[in-house]
Chains A and B, each alone.
Chain A
Amino acid sequence: MNEQILGLVTGVAFGFLLQKGRVLRFDKQVAAMRLKDMTILKFMLTAILVGMVGLHLLAHFDVLAFKHKPMNLGAVGLGGLLFGAGWAVMGFCPGTSVGALGEGRWHAVFAIVGMLVGAAVYAELYPFFKRTVLAWKNFGPIALPETLGLNPWLVIALFWALCLALFVWFEKKRL
């Protein structure tokens, strides 16, 4: 199968599930940040819990390889701060903005325009960032189990326990 067709099929399924989960809404994203409605966290964490087990099983049998993004301290730290701040005002993340447009929330166009401008701004500033923020301290593509010196399945079990406790609390508080 052709690369573009596979991408399109994957994206349609992803967009379908994002919409069914009701996580594309501006109001849901902002409500999660205001700790009033945890729908998007329930969705994200469940996806991570399931994906985590499946990917590690398949990696164990060499069906696939991990591609860890580098733990570049300045980049992830400062970039994470900027993203979080922009996300709160915009009310969408890159993936959900196009999905929101798909379900008729046409004001997502403004967020998409902003992000396209932001991508162009980043490209212009890239040589400067490369010499500064991106050059501070890069730990490389590291994974949690090796970093903590723990068996990956133990880390997964701990993460499952933590998330399940969080879910029980969300449901109890009706978040």
Chain B
Amino acid sequence: MKWRTDDRGWNPYLAGALTGVLAIASVVATTRILGKTSYLGASTTFVRAAALLQRPVAREHVAAGEYYTETKIKVDWQFMVVVGIFLGALLSSLTDGSLRAEAVPPTWSQRFGPGVGKRAVGAILGGIVAMVGARMADGCPSGHGLSGMMQLSVSGFVALAFFFGTGIVVARLVYGGRNHE
């Protein structure tokens, strides 16, 4: 086992362990500094961003929406975490030369060809279904997977089993089996 991956990344066990430390530190920091315990997550931010984007054209509709009212539309701690993920990834990729403009991911291209249009349709449809699911389940692989399982929440274990279980079946249908290259 190597500390560095072939493309100058970090060993995933090392990066994962440091993420565990970060998760602990962030729970302590939000509790101590903000007086409000927050666990890492990402998908609620998409609801807030969707509401903020709709506001200029449909102010009353957003204000009347039950889900938006319950979610409280504001640029909060988690919203800035999600913005930070973008910046942190950019910074990291600049330090090791892995920043790369990519129009279509290689695995997708092998299966469906290099067309950007097809990829766009697949990603948008997949994104819609995935986010409806994440909001219904009340979390994504960050909120349920990382934060939920760290706390030994039953919902975290069940959610991750469903995420991966379904993912394995659908990935097989969409990209072909293990030996299908």
Contact = CB atoms under 8 A, between A and B. Distances in A.
Given A80-B162, A123-B50, A126-B66, A94 B9 contact: no
Contacts of B142: 93-95
Provide the main secondary structure of the chain B interface.
helix
Interface string B144-181: 11101111111111110111111111111011011000
Nearest to B168: A33
Interface in A105-139: 105-108, 110-127, 129-130, 133-134, 139
Interface string B6-48: 0101101111111111111011111101100101101101110
Interface string A144-174: 1101000010011000000000010001000
Contacts of B42: 93-95, 98
Interface residues of B, number: 130
Given A7-B81, A76-B137, A89-B126, A103 B105 contact: no
A12 B84 contact: yes
Interface string A47-82: 111111011101000011111111110011111111
14 contacts: A3-B77, A7-B81, A7-B84, A14-B88, A23-B15, A27-B107, A34-B172, A42-B12, A93-B42, A98-B83, A98-B85, A110-B119, A118-B131, A143-B151
Interface of B: 1, 5, 7, 9-10, 12-24, 26-31, 33-34, 37, 39-40, 42-43, 45-47, 49-51, 53-54, 65-68, 75-93, 96, 98-108, 116, 119-120, 122-146, 148-159, 161-172, 174-175, 177-178
